[in-house]
Amino acid sequence: QHWKITALPTMGALSSKSIGCYSNDFELVVRAIKKLETNLEENFGSPRDSECGVREKIEEARVPTTGEPLPASLVLRLYSLAKERNKMIHNVYVNGLSSRREFVEEYDACIKELENLADDGVYDPTKWENILEDLLGCGPWCCDGNDRTETAEKGAKLQTKRR
């Protein structure tokens, strides 16, 4: 039996599709911060409390391998993204990003750094790659290029069921 994978999911709430695809600045900013918060909750131990703000989630986040806080330089960059979100949401005179390109680039760079910090090489049975490996005896890289869609979909569904 062969399954097809056309797009491989990435860790947690992350997506390989850039947030720059959203045409509306408000949607872009809100979705970016929602993805960031979910990433911090799922991969870095930030509180899942809906009363907890994004700055608190950033402060509470811990590197999975060491238990240390996120690097100070990354924390400042994440604060900058949160500040842009707050300006857009709370300031009646702000109706768009001052630089959409810079926001998207900074967001993408922060997400990449978070991915690197979260990729600790420790086996996690809830990660879709490990679920596929457990089920198929190999990860998503073992299938040929034409048979990848269904495997990713099945892996994503199994990951969701295990939560």
- Report the b/e string of 52-65 with b at 16+ CB within 10 A: eebeebbbbbbbbe
* Residues paired with residue 69 on neighbouring β-strands, in sequence order: 62
Our measurement of the distance from residue 140's CA atom to the centroid of its chain's CA atoms, rounded to an integer in Å, reads: 19
d(CA 144, CA 120) in angstroms, rounded, equals: 27
d(CA 127, CA 82) in angstroms, rounded, equals: 27
Q: Contact at 8 Å (CB) between 112 and 53?
A: no
Condensed to tens digits (0 to 9), the pLDDT of residues 107-149 reads 999 999 999 998 764 545 555 554 555 555 554 444 444 344 4
The pTM assigned to this predicted structure is: 0.63
Condensed to tens digits (0 to 9), the pLDDT of residues 72-83 reads 999 999 999 999
What is the reported pLDDT for 5? Answer: 38
Condensed to tens digits (0 to 9), the pLDDT of residues 7-55 reads 333 433 334 456 777 789 999 999 999 999 999 999 999 999 888 899 9
Angle formed at CA 153 by CA 16 and CA 148, multiple of 5 degrees: 80
Q: How far is CA 86 from CA 29, 97, 144, in A?
A: 9, 11, 45
